[in-house]
Amino acid sequence: MRILTVLTYYRPHTSGLTIYAERLARAFARRGHQVTVLTTQYDRRSLPRDEMMDSVHVLRVPVAVRVSKGVLAPTFGLVATKLVWEHDVVQLHLPQFDAPGVALRAHLFGKPSVLTYHCDLRLPPGLFNRFVNLVVKFQNNMAGILADHIVTYTQDYADNSSYLSRYCHKLTPILPPVELPPPAPGAVEAFAAAHRIREQRPVIGMVTRFAAEKGVEVLLDALPTVLEKYPKAQVLFAGQYQDVLGEQAYAERLMPRINKYEGGGYWKFLGNLSQHQLAAFYPNMDVLVVPSLNSTEAFGLVQVEAMLNNVPCVASALPGVRQPVTMHGMGKIVPVGEPSALAETLLAIFAEKGKYHCDTTALAKLYDPDTVAQEYEKLFETLR
């Protein structure tokens, strides 16, 4: 099968959406499909227009203008016309400004199209961003009307999404692809030594971008209560934390407080970690926190990565985000945006951490990209 995957950003850009798309594209290629990714050349200096990545053909369209967190690529439609015609099925990842145009081409050419809806888009406050939000919502709805089918991560998120509830007649939940390589020999111990983990326990992990919707301030507000009970506790934050697109004001507001914790050894930024580095990081955590604040988070793939290492998670009671803990019993759910509840829950988990264990083999199989690819294949066959 010739599969065309379309999205605004692809690797090496790092987000839950791009990681999902990359894992799924590679799984399709391993299963013998011809896979092309149509995306944007968001960094002209470092990204080639055309390359093969893990047997996946990646085509990047030049960007003319950046608009908030998105881009405008004038030739995107022209390239999409040719590629849609040449492929058997089109898979689009939303949110995406160009999605309705691509879905329309698929409809006109008689090619089945499937949208994977990752999350809602909510830009920071401001008149211009409100306009962008309205435009993206309109584009997403046009794509939803034109597409043959829509995939989302969980029924829980779909049931609580104003967007997805409109298309329940053509909606299928498919769990996201999650994979993590085994740590290299000695890597876990080396990570612990590099970050003085034996001296500072418990370790609270966050693996995300430094962005307003991620709820970093909720953990910040909870930390004093945790430190009263565990004066050697520390937060290790893995992910982009500098120059995050659209998050400068948020960083400026929180960094003075974080810098004080950094100075005392209670908070450390690790930057973006590779999958192999994350494989050494997770076993050194005592808990992973996902204190997200709104529906721009639909699941939290990192929760499953942590659970694959028998690390419990504390997640916000948001639709979708609460599902990994609810489904697998590996942690606790807390009310959205309540630091006191987060602090109490962290203390409770530290007091009974030994009880959190799961069947990691079965969990890995459930989220294996190959398993997810098979579910998509079944869906594609029903639409052809």
- Name the residue ranges covered by the structural domains of the chain: 2-177+368-383, 187-364
Predicted TM-score of the model (pTM) = 0.89
Q: Read off φ and ψ for residue 228, nearest 5 degrees.
A: -60, -40
Residue type, 15: S
Is 2-177+368-383's fold the same as 187-364's?
A: yes
Using 50 as the pLDDT threshold, list the residues of the chain that sit under it: none
- What's the pLDDT at 43? 86
Task: Return d(Cα 373, Cα 384) in angstroms, integer.
Answer: 16
- What's the pLDDT at 337? 95
Provide CATH code, domain 187-364.
3.40.50.2000
On whether the CB atoms of residues 311 and 287 are closer than 8 A, the answer is yes
- What's the pLDDT at 52? 97
- What's the pLDDT at 69? 66
- What's the pLDDT at 31? 97
Task: Return d(Cα 278, Cα 269) in angstroms, integer.
Answer: 14
Q: Which CATH number fits domain 2-177+368-383: 3.40.220.10, 3.40.50.2000, 3.40.640.10, 3.40.50.720?
A: 3.40.50.2000
Largest CA distance in the chain: 64
